[in-house]
Structure 1
């Protein structure tokens, strides 16, 4: 599963410049600069962080990672959604978005060593997400998101057998804007992601990781 990631303000966005509006990329960079060094984790009862989410080629917003049900974080697992389940969907897929990241993290067990997955040369990565509206107990409305997970690429599965579905920049508009998209869009996104997957590299983190309950409202 993917339970933490980061967005470095020094990200290289050249692959996205012809797809995502400059104002969106500038907004993401400004947000990342204000939160430089933060490890982004699921939003919850105690950790009320909001993370940046690309909701259209011309729009982004701070969003709640995980689903809200009856004003509280869902009691079921909701931060990740299996690509296989979405691909088998009969009818329309949920609304879709892209999570901008510089890296994501997984832990090897039983050694409990964290690893960072990155693209070469500080490249910006886009992770597929599905979204739904949610309302917190205080009445505030949020866009809630779940990261789409697929089987790991062969060169990565020695660390973890799943990885996020990465959105190829050339597929970003199709992912975000296809009306009434069905399960076939998941299969198309997986196929488009293959060359991106091959670029991903993984290395153990240096130093001690901050505690998993670290975080702040941003």
Structure 2
């Protein structure tokens, strides 16, 4: 599953969403620069880690800071919630009612049993979007946030030797559909088909450092 991911401010902008304007892209770059050297991570009980996601706000595309993983009764959920299996959404499409796109330039997984971290991304280092489902949640102090869970699917053959799962990537032509279409079984099926169009462009590179090893709470 997606252990951590990053947003490099040097990204190219061709892969994300055609509706994103320069103001939004500039905002993403500014956020990434402010967090230089840090990979996004699940938020623990004593941490507040809000990360940019792209949402549909009354027919307009917008960026909103959101909490990775679900908050339930004022605390991070006791069940794993930073990732959601695509198979589960196919079986229970009700979770697709609210969705987002998570901008990233790479994600990180450990290859086992070697315990070597790998960075995954698109060739060329472009910005891309990962499918996410969302719900509202509050912290212990009563503050409400949009919470998100990255949708995961089986990895294609050329990546499965490193890790057997990967995020559902949303190609630009499908971005509006993911954000605005009716949330049903047909939508997740279409998202998986669209994501497969990017498979050949996804690469995995071993990291000499231990990037990601301290990113879990």
TM-score under structure 2 length normalisation: 0.92
1:29 aligns with 2:29: yes
* Cα RMSD, aligned residues only: 1.8
The CA deviation at 1:16 is 3.7
What is the distance in 2 between the residues matched to 1:175 and 1:168? 10
Seen in structure 2, the aligned counterparts of structure 1 residues 210 and 199 have a Cα distance that, compared at 3 Å, is closer
Are the aligned partners of 1:24 and 1:58 in contact in 2 as well (CA < 8 Å)?
A: no
Deviations 1:127-162 (A, max 9, x none): 000000000001111110001000001110001111
- Structure 1 gaps, min length 5: none
What is the distance in 2 between the residues matched to 1:136 and 1:82? 25
Seen in structure 2, the aligned counterparts of structure 1 residues 107 and 204 have a Cα distance that, compared at 3 Å, is same
Seen in structure 2, the aligned counterparts of structure 1 residues 17 and 152 have a Cα distance that, compared at 3 Å, is closer
Aligned residue pairs total 214
1:80 aligns with 2:80: no
Deviations 1:27-71 (A, max 9, x none): 111111111221111112133211111113521111110001110
Deviations 1:182-208 (A, max 9, x none): 011011011011121210000101223
1:174 aligns with 2:156: no
TM-score under structure 1 length normalisation: 0.92
1:71 aligns with 2:80: no
- Structure 2 gaps, min length 5: none
Are the aligned partners of 1:21 and 1:58 in contact in 2 as well (CA < 8 Å)?
A: no
